[in-house]
Amino acid sequence: MFTCSLLATLRCLGHFPAYSASLPKCWKPLPTLSDNNLFHPFSKSPFPAVCVRGEAIQHAGELPLWVKYKCPDCRWPIHCLEEHWQVDEEHKKYYSCLWEVNEDEHDLRRGRKLWEFQLPGAYEEAISFANWDLFWYTSGFPSMDTGQSRRHASKLLTYPLTIGSIALCTTLHVPPGAPDTEKAGAAKPQIRVFILGAHAESSLPPHVWEQLCMLFPSCHFHLLFIRPQHTWSSIQLYGFPSYTVPYSLQLTVMGIQAKYSEVHQHFEELFSPYADVFFLFSPGFSFPSMTSVSELHGTPLPQINSPTEWGPVMTVLLETCCSVIVTRFSPADMERDICSLECWRL
């Protein structure tokens, strides 16, 4: 959102010689794409950031089998060799989805005003979580009339709404009949949400997380991102890089760049099953470990069994008696993680 505003400003400055003279000589204004010109192969995208992402996808495979072959239908690099693409019948299921992702990436960067990211203030009606359309309607969002608008808005709000829709409902709500206001919640305990292995969720700006406060005006939230991808400060907390953003009276955001097992001891005396909750967004319990192998078979262990990954973490989480909420990308992924957890407990 802020990037597009900056680009729009720079484009305007380009029309005024007094300002454009101060821009670097190598600077070139980014193109403005029309609605019917949003699809471009990542390697030939007019936006450098998309080209970089395309290169990252190509290098996602194991050396020397980099993902070099681009599908002629969806234009994504999805196979190492053309021979692999020809025998793979599964990739046809994902054509339309990959095409949409490509257009969405270009739409976000083409310089238009992203009205989908204009978040409403305090909600005036009861909010429905039945589906995205009902949520947007009852919470006062602009009308989402296209699939692209729905994808942009839902991608932005997925993390805070997942937490708000399922976490500690008995604690988040005020007693029946009481007004759900900040004053009514003055005596309520602070709700601590521990988000472990944080990635994309830690890069959301605080005003997006403030939607939690809009949903529950009587609650005070303290979000703790453990091992975030990005840290905003070199301040040390518990001996690790960290940041703290006291965004409002109802919301504090904190990030600690450490493994949870390294900081658990600093929280273990304070846990409350009524006011604390753990979220693990797509942790990959069943994924093969990058660091641990089976002594019996010599094959990688599932991450839930790895002594350097989720194994010791889950042990201490269960000891807290707090809720542990785990998400996955699909039912199949969830089933694999459930099986790996069941085997871990044996």
| CA atoms of 19 and 107, how far apart (whole Å) | 27
Confidence check: pLDDT of 299 > 50? yes
Q: What digits encode the pLDDT tens for the residues 101-141? A: 999 999 999 888 888 998 888 777 788 888 899 999 888 88
Tell me what pLDDT residue 274 has: 85
Closest by CA to 276, choosing from 171, 184, 191, is 191
Q: Which long-range contacts (CB under 8 A, 24 or more apart) does 243-248 make?
A: 245/206, 247/206, 247/207, 247/209, 247/210, 248/210, 248/213
Tell me what pLDDT residue 186 has: 65
Mean pLDDT over 213-230 rounds to: 86
pLDDT band at 294 (very low <50, low <70, confident <90, very high): confident
Instruction: Report strand pairing: 288-293 vs 300-302.
Output: antiparallel
Confidence check: pLDDT of 25 > 80? no
Tell me what pLDDT residue 175 has: 61
Provide the token pair at 90: 């599964």
Determine contact, residues 246/190, Cβ cutoff 8 Å.
no
| CA atoms of 68 and 81, how far apart (whole Å) | 7
pLDDT band at 8 (very low <50, low <70, confident <90, very high): very low
pLDDT band at 15 (very low <50, low <70, confident <90, very high): very low
| H helices present in the chain, as ranges | 2-13, 17-20, 48-58, 82-87, 95-109, 132-139, 147-166, 169-172, 206-209, 211-215, 260-263, 310-319, 331-345
Residue 297 — φ and ψ, nearest 5°?
Answer: -110, -15
| CA atoms of 223 and 244, how far apart (whole Å) | 10
Tell me what pLDDT residue 23 has: 44
Q: What's the full length of the chain, in residues?
A: 346
Q: Which amino acid is at 99?
A: W
Q: Which range has the worst mean pLDDT, 180-189, 249-258, 336-345?
A: 180-189
How many DSSP H helices and E strands does the chain contain?
A: 13, 11
Q: For the chain, what percent of residues have pLDDT higher than 90?
A: 31
Tell me what pLDDT residue 28 has: 66
In terms of pLDDT, which residue wins out, 24 or 167?
167
Please state the pTM of the whole predicted model. 0.81
Residue 141 DSSP symbol: P
Q: How far is CA 331 from the centre of its chain?
A: 19
Confidence check: pLDDT of 178 > 70? no
pLDDT band at 177 (very low <50, low <70, confident <90, very high): low
- Among all chains, which residue has been given the structure tokens 């070099």? 68
Tell me what pLDDT residue 159 has: 94
